[in-house]
Amino acid sequence: MTDQRLHDLLHETVADVTAPDLADTAWRAGLRGRRRRTTTLVAAAAVAVIAVAGTVALVEGDPGDDPAPTRKPTVAPTQTPTPSNRSTLRSTYEPEISSHDATYSGVPVWWAPTVADEQRLPAYPDSPLPSVVDLSQVSGSIDDDPLDRALAAYGVYGPDGGVEAVDVLGADGRLRSVDVSRVEPMTDPEGIQRVRLGPSLLSRGGDYLMFPQEHSILLYTLRTGRWSSFDTGTSPTWDATWIAADRIVLADPSRPLAQAPEYSVDGVTDGSSNVIGGAVPELPLGSSQLNGRARTGGTRMAQAFTAGATIPEPPGGASPEGTSDWISVTWTPGEILLIPSETGRQKSCCQVSGWIDASTVLYDSRTSTGTDLLAWRVGTGRFWVVTRLTGVTLGQQTVVTSYAQLTPPW
Amino acid sequence: MEALGQREEFTRWAQAAQPQLLRGAVLLTGDRQRAEDLVQEALTKVAMRWSRLRGTSPDAYARTVIHHDHVSSWRKRRHEVLTAIEVDGAQARPEPERRILVLEALRTLTPRQRAVIVLRYFDDLTERETADVLGVSVGTVKSQTHLSLRRLREAAPELAEFLHEESR
């Protein structure tokens, strides 16, 4: 009955809010929007015809390529694709596709696989990471089973927002637990007190765990099992980020163009950098926000963004423009990976996790069925699954992932 | 004729839906003008897709747009100082005390927490439906509900009798 009482209380609170008739204005504005959409879709369909023709030629000229996933349906050369074809699920995958799906401010846009398609992606060959990481299967404490360098670190929040576990993954495929009872909660951007476990939990080299604290940084060195900390003064620490194997910058997403102070793992501050500015592409961002940590691979940098930029969506979808997360790969040539929003796809779903080689970026895919680490060969339609995370109670626990840089230099 | 029929159909739906959408948006934002803007934008997006949405659930789509746009706009303004809540000329006439308490208590919540409270207790959505609108897990909805009710109880002890948790 209490639910009903709160329901009644809320309704009573706004009972005298009366609505002007917005229907007519909305219909006329919608009509104008539809006309603009129609123009855009006609242009996109024309591009799609050209793109598919080019794709067929490429596929035929490359018969020996490994079978690899794409997001695109098989289309015979004589067929004209319809917009809805491009977003339907497929049971088969073609070899490499090198024609992008759309453009945004002149930058090629690729549409990531749907949630259902992700379940059918092939495994990435020769991955240093296990194909499955079962977070319920921890071999023991890192104190009893030492590890110099981890490939990945995983944090698990429970339903009450408390930390249930922090585990590190070794190259031997075993998970070790780390006792983080000394880590204090801090105030998150929404004003909630909780322990900060984020994408910069693990250092690039895989040899430190970093825990931002109010006015300090707490570090755990895997090789020695030693905890250390250094003071940071008044600079915000929530978004502290690794920028080298042993260097941390106190990034501040609210001031993306500002120079942020840098610290060595010994707590020596001797410089500053604008780590965020370099990851932001020169594109209309709309209300998109930085999502997670920028990761460099070879000469390129990848950064995930929340929804907000009006990047073209796959035709036939029901998502409003600007509701999909996306990943930007900056520097020439720039590329965009749009992860179309859909039922089952979590918001802020897809942080960049690193690079598995100089041209293949890794990203987390968070859906209602779990978290998978996926790989995208930048500038192609090739996708793989690298690691599927299991051993988590969906709806009860939340997993945070952080990966070491898998390719040198760190 | 088909377009005319669709327009009438949309108008009937919008006129029926907008009071509930607007009141939910007022609770969500604490600001009448912003609430109206959010509803206007949501109705426009529904109108753009009316031929596809008419046979499904335009209410759910409009609600999703409102909550998404609200969080997006909040992210852009998160470093601004929040202004006092104004609902229907609240400054111009005396308010019932309980109404003021509710609005002031809602101000203490984060945008996501307010969204959870509005969707679950004002719109009567289930935990799963709330999770779908917000694009989060059911576990997040549960934990945010728990935190929100606790924070509301702390902010307005006078309302404690309305704020005990029950599963649904």
A25 vs A258, residue with greater confidence: A25
Q: Which of A66-80, A316-330, B85-99 has the lowest mean pLDDT?
A: A66-80
Tell me which residues of chain B have a pLDDT lower than 50: 75-95, 167-168
Let me know: does A375 contact A360? Beta carbons within 8 Å: yes
Give the mean pLDDT of A302-309.
91
**Hey, which residues does A272 pair with through a beta bridge?**
A261
| A297 closest CA partner among A231, A372, A240, A355 | A355
- State residue A200's pLDDT score: 92
Question: Where would I find the beta strands (DSSP E) of A226-330?
Answer: 226-231, 240-244, 247-250, 260-264, 269-273, 290-297, 300-305, 325-330
Cα torsion through A175, A176, A181, A187, rounded to 10: -40
Q: Which of A260-264, A331-335, A347-351 has the lowest mean pLDDT?
A: A331-335
Alpha-helical (H) ranges within A14-164 are: 23-60, 115-118
Residues of A in contact with B124 (CB under 8 A): 7
Give the mean pLDDT of A333-350.
88
User: How far does the CA of residue B84 sit from the closest CA of chain A (Å)?
Assistant: 16
Compute the 3-state secondary structure of chain B and give helix, strand, coil in percent, each to the nearest 5: 75, 0, 25
How many C-beta neighbours within 10 Å does residue A100 have?
18
- State residue A2's pLDDT score: 57
Distance, C-alpha B78 to centroid of its chain: 18
Query: Does the pLDDT at position A85 exceed 50?
Result: no
Give the DSSP H or E segment for A337. strand A335-339
Q: Tell me the pLDDT band of A347, cut-offs 50, 70 and 90.
A: confident
Q: For residue B40, give the nearest of A5, A22, A396 by CB distance.
A: A22
A79 vs A98, residue with greater confidence: A98
pTM of the model: 0.57
Residues of B in contact with A368 (CB under 8 A): 131, 137
- State residue A36's pLDDT score: 53
Q: For residue A323, give the nearest of B68, B122, B163 by CB distance.
A: B68
Residues of B in contact with A5 (CB under 8 A): 161-162
Q: Which two tokens stand for residue A275?
A: 């780590």
Measure Cα distances from A406 to A220, B14, B92 in Å. 20, 53, 63
Q: Tell me the pLDDT band of A288, cut-offs 50, 70 and 90.
A: confident
Give residue-wise pLDDT tens across range A134-168: 999 999 999 999 999 999 999 999 988 899 999 99
User: How far does the CA of residue A11 sit from the closest CA of chain B (Å)?
Assistant: 7
Residue A314: exposure state from Cβ atoms within 10 A (0-12, 13-18, ≥19): buried
User: How far does the CA of residue A126 sit from the closest CA of chain B (Å)?
Assistant: 32
Q: Which two tokens stand for residue A203?
A: 């250092």
A264-275 in b/e form (b: 16+ CB < 10 A) is: ebeeebeeebbb
Give residue-wise pLDDT tens across range A209-268: 999 999 999 999 999 999 999 999 888 899 899 988 888 999 877 766 667 899 999 998
Which residue matches tokens 């219909």? A27
- State residue A57's pLDDT score: 24
Give the mean pLDDT of A11-40.
74
Q: Which of A96-100, A221-225, A368-372 has the lowest mean pLDDT?
A: A96-100
What distance in Å separates the CA atoms of residue A383 and residue A118, rounded to the nearest whole number? 9
Q: Which two tokens stand for residue B47?
A: 């109108």
- State residue B74's pLDDT score: 53
Q: For residue A3, give the nearest of B43, B146, B166 by CB distance.
A: B166
- State residue B166's pLDDT score: 55
- State residue A363's pLDDT score: 97
Q: Tell me the pLDDT band of A403, cut-offs 50, 70 and 90.
A: very high
Q: For residue B102, give the nearest of A9, A289, A347 by CB distance.
A: A9
User: How far does the CA of residue A299 sit from the closest CA of chain B (Å)?
Assistant: 31
Cβ–Cβ of B72/A12 closer than 8 Å? no
Query: Does the pLDDT at position A4 exceed 60?
Result: yes
- The full length of chain B comes to 168
Cβ–Cβ of A161/B10 closer than 8 Å? no
| B6 closest CA partner among B46, B60, B57, B59 | B46
Cα torsion through A19, B120, A366, A308, rounded to 10: 20
A200-216 in b/e form (b: 16+ CB < 10 A) is: bbbbbbbbbbbbbbeeb
- State residue B61's pLDDT score: 85
Give the DSSP H or E segment for A163. strand A163-169
How many C-beta neighbours within 10 Å does residue A1 have?
7
User: How far does the CA of residue A40 sit from the closest CA of chain B (Å)?
Assistant: 14
A10-14, A15-19, A153-157, B137-141 — most confident range:
A153-157
Query: Does the pLDDT at position A40 exceed 50?
Result: no
What distance in Å separates the CA atoms of residue A33 and residue A401, rounded to the nearest whole number? 40
Let me know: does B98 contact B140? Beta carbons within 8 Å: no
Which residues have C-beta within 8 Å of that of residue A101, sequence separation ≥ 6?
A48, A51, A71, A86, A109, A110, A111, A312, A314, A338
Give the mean pLDDT of A60-84.
28
Q: Which of A75-89, A153-167, A323-337, B116-130 has the lowest mean pLDDT?
A: A75-89
Q: Which of B15, B18, B21, B23 to mutate to test the interface with A (most CBs of A within 10 A)?
A: B23
Give the mean pLDDT of A66-81.
29
Q: Tell me the pLDDT band of A188, cut-offs 50, 70 and 90.
A: confident
> Coil, strand or helix: which one is A88?
coil
- State residue A276's pLDDT score: 63
Report the chain A residue with the minimal C-alpha distance to residue B122.
A7
Q: Which of A9, A115, A238 to mutate to test the interface with B (most CBs of B within 10 A)?
A: A9
Cβ–Cβ of A12/B99 closer than 8 Å? yes
Query: Does the pLDDT at position A39 exceed 70?
Result: no
Percentage of chain A modeled with pLDDT above 90? 42
Give residue-wise pLDDT tens across range B21-36: 999 999 988 878 788 8
> Coil, strand or helix: which one is B45?
helix
Q: Which two tokens stand for residue A287?
A: 């209300």
Residue-by-residue DSSP string for A210-243: EEEETTEEEEEETTTTEEEEEE-TTS--TTEEEE
Q: Which of A14, A291, A371 to mutate to test the interface with B (most CBs of B within 10 A)?
A: A14
Percentage of chain A modeled with pLDDT above 70? 78
List the A352-357 sheet strands across, edge first: A132-134, A383-390, A370-377, A360-367, A352-357
Let me know: does A240 contact A249? Beta carbons within 8 Å: yes
